[in-house]
């Protein structure tokens, strides 16, 4: 029947919207008000493992390690004293890098690794968003999308 088709479509849309963004929310890159680059990595650590992290970027074939707490690894000299990492709640790390936004390549792949699990995102320099816009979008989009889909699901199912 028509209502069961609408119902299955609403369920599919509801399921897709709730599942897909979780993957993209694991790493985000934005510019802070003072023009520092911020990379948030929200990978959930594996239980019973020491939380290690690495932040890096690559452009072309060259990967550069920006900050790490992995024993035996070291950030490249150009990034020492220019980056800092803080722990996020409930899990993850935030890396802030000072003084590099003007010299970023056009396309940069930002990577974070927590306890061996890697996430990456490709960002065009011109499309770097202010951090306030990123957090506003994440907060505001969920604030109206989820209730709308629930309402549609209940109306048709």
* C-alpha distance across the termini of the chain, in Å: 12
What is the tally of structural domains in the chain?
1
Per-residue model confidence (pLDDT) at position 15? 37
- Which residue range forms the structural domain that includes residue 114? 27-127
Residue 12 domain flag: no
**pLDDT mean for each 10 residues of the chain (157 residues):** 45 35 69 94 86 93 95 94 94 94 88 94 91 54 49 58
pTM confidence score: 0.69
Residue 57's CATH number:
2.60.40.10
Please tell me the predicted confidence (pLDDT) of residue 106.
83
What would the two tokens of residue 123 be?
């960002």
What pLDDT sits at residue 60? 86
DSSP 80: T
């Amino acid at each position: 029947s028509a209502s069961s088709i609408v119902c299955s479509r609403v369920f599919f849309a509801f399921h897709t919207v709730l599942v897909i963004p979780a993957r993209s929310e694991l790493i985000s890159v934005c510019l802070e008000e003072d023009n520092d680059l911020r990379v948030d990595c929200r990978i959930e650590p594996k239980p019973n493992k020491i939380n290690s992290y690495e932040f890096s970027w690559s452009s072309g074939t060259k990967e550069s390690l920006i900050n790490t707490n992995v024993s035996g690894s070291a950030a490249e000299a150009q990034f020492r004293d220019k980056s800092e990492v803080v722990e996020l709640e409930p899990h993850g790390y935030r890396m802030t890098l000072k003084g590099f936004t003007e010299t970023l390549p056009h396309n940069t792949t930002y990577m974070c690794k927590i306890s061996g699990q890697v996430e990456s995102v490709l960002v065009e320099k011109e499309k770097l968003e202010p951090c306030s816009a990123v957090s506003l979008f994440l907060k505001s989009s969920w604030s109206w999308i989820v209730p709308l889909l629930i309402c549609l699901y209940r109306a048709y199912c």
